């Protein structure tokens, strides 16, 4: 089985791209999760004013990447538990590259998933025994992103899978030929384009984009603070910013500028920007607990300073790549 071979769970910043990237790396194809995000046009931060959701296109980016670069995949679902388990056992024993979609509310190997409100999550299943499966999770959304690899109960994972109608993907990497130079140039272009869009910001109909999106989200805290479910709303808002792509996209930018060898000063500057955004998310939880307006004012002030500092560093990145 795959878990017994040269497979490694490398950490990404989004679950599905991490699954795909880890299988690609296992097959000797040097494309990682961050590459997939940018190549699939995932760097597009959006806030839906009606639904109160802030996210990037990171999920859609996985399929755009696979379709664009000829990565073959099959999507499946099953109607009953017995058929699903039979398929999973057969596929894993045959060393097929299986990714299953699970409900994070059922995941027990890290308590961070208890905040997720039944969000979908993707994991690779690379080993199986009678009552256990060996899983690879390349993105556990802890405060400092982490991974999980190991044996867990088959019943637990199948219950989590059942909540998502036993949906899964099976990947096939036959006859893929990546032009490394073309890939790297494409990633640079996508990052530069995404930075400009992010810093410009905009509003169209019921949607806000870029820095305008996060400003709009946080501006609504003044109304939310008066509601009984304020803390629950804050916890979910925090989870969105951590997991739906806002913070993840920043970590992926940092990963790529390091890969491309940009100056240590620029990399350190952007790492400090990310640390400030981490502070913002901690302040957000603090506001949720205290419901104090002065803490809210501190949060908004920190965000304003962070955006201006981030603008300076991102402009430096774009200038160095001209």
pLDDT of residue 296: 87
pLDDT of residue 145: 86
Are residues 129 and 10 part of one domain?
yes
Mean pLDDT of the chain: 92
Residue 301 in tokens:
């002030």
Q: How confident is the model at residue 105 (pLDDT cuts 50, 70, 90)?
A: confident
Q: What is the CATH number of the domain that holds 18?
A: 3.90.70.10
Are residues 19 and 73 part of one domain?
yes
Question: Tell me: the pLDDT tens digits for 222-246?
Answer: 888 888 889 989 988 988 998 899 9
Are residues 152 and 223 part of one domain?
no
Whether the predicted pLDDT of 322 surpasses 80: no
Whether the predicted pLDDT of 24 surpasses 80: yes
Whether the predicted pLDDT of 75 surpasses 90: yes
Are residues 129 and 42 part of one domain?
yes
Are residues 213 and 164 part of one domain?
no
d(CA 224, CA 226): 5
Quick check: 269 and 288 in contact, CB under 8 A? Answer: no
pLDDT of residue 175: 67
pLDDT of residue 310: 96
Residue 205 in tokens:
């109909």
Q: How far is CA 234 from CA 73, 109, 113, 239, in A?
A: 37, 24, 16, 9
pLDDT of residue 225: 85
Question: Tell me: the pLDDT tens digits for 265-310?
Answer: 999 999 999 999 999 999 999 999 988 888 888 899 999 999 999 9
Q: What is the DSSP letter of 117?
A: S
Are residues 110 and 199 part of one domain?
no
Are residues 214 and 113 part of one domain?
no
pTM: 0.91
Boundary (domain end) residue, out of 121, 142, 172: 172
Are residues 26 and 125 part of one domain?
yes
Are residues 130 and 205 part of one domain?
no
Boundary (domain end) residue, out of 172, 197, 225: 172
Quick check: 2 and 94 in contact, CB under 8 A? Answer: no
Total domains in the chain come to 2
| Helix, strand, coil share (%) of the chain residues, nearest 5 | 55, 15, 25
Q: Could you give the percent of the chain with pLDDT greater than 90?
A: 77
d(CA 195, CA 207): 18
Domain containing residue 6: 2-172
pLDDT of residue 115: 67
Quick check: 271 and 261 in contact, CB under 8 A? Answer: no
Residue 99 in tokens:
């990714």
Boundary (domain end) residue, out of 147, 172, 197: 172
Are residues 242 and 168 part of one domain?
no
Are residues 141 and 84 part of one domain?
yes
Other C-beta atoms closer than 10 Å to the C-beta of 162 total 16
Please compute the mean of the pLDDT values over residues 8-22 and round it to a whole number: 96
Are residues 122 and 268 part of one domain?
no
Question: Tell me: the pLDDT tens digits for 110-166?
Answer: 888 876 667 899 999 999 999 999 999 999 988 888 999 999 999 999 999 999 999
d(CA 273, CA 267): 10
Across 57-61, 89-93, 234-238, least confident range: 234-238
Question: Tell me: the pLDDT tens digits for 180-217?
Answer: 888 999 999 999 999 999 999 999 999 999 999 999 99
pLDDT of residue 64: 96
Q: What is the CATH number of the domain that holds 206?
A: 1.20.120
pLDDT of residue 134: 98
């Amino acid at each position: 089985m795959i878990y017994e071979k040269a497979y490694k769970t490398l950490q990404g910043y989004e679950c599905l791209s991490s699954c795909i990237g880890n299988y690609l790396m296992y097959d000797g194809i040097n494309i990682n999760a961050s590459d997939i995000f940018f190549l699939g046009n995932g760097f597009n931060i959006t806030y839906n004013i009606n639904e109160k959701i802030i996210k990037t296109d990171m999920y859609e980016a996985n399929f755009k990447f696979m379709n664009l670069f000829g990565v073959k995949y099959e999507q499946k679902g099953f109607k009953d538990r017995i058929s699903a388990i039979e398929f999973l056992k057969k596929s894993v024993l045959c060393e097929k590259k299986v990714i299953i979609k699970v409900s994070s509310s059922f995941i027990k190997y890290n308590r961070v998933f208890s905040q997720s409100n039944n969000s979908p999550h993707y994991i690779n299943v690379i080993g199986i025994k009678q009552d256990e499966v060996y899983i690879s999770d390349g993105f556990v959304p802890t405060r400092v992103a982490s991974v999980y690899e190991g044996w867990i109960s088959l019943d637990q994972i199948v219950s989590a899978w059942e909540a998502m109608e036993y949906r899964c993907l099976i990947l096939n990497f036959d006859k893929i030929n990546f032009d490394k130079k073309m890939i790297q140039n494409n990633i640079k272009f996508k990052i530069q384009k995404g930075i400009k869009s992010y810093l410009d910001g905009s509003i169209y109909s019921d949607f806000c984009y870029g820095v305008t999106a996060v400003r709009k989200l946080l501006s609504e805290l003044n109304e939310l603070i008066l509601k009984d479910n304020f803390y629950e709303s804050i916890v979910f808002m925090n989870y969105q910013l951590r997991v739906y792509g806002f913070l993840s996209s920043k970590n992926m930018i940092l990963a790529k500028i390091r890969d491309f060898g940009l100056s240590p000063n620029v990399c350190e500057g952007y790492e400090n920007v990310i640390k400030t955004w981490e502070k913002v998310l901690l302040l957000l939880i603090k506001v949720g607990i205290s419901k104090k307006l002065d803490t809210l004012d501190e949060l908004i002030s920190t965000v304003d300073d962070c955006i201006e500092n981030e603008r300076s560093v991102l402009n430096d990145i774009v200038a160095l790549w001209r």
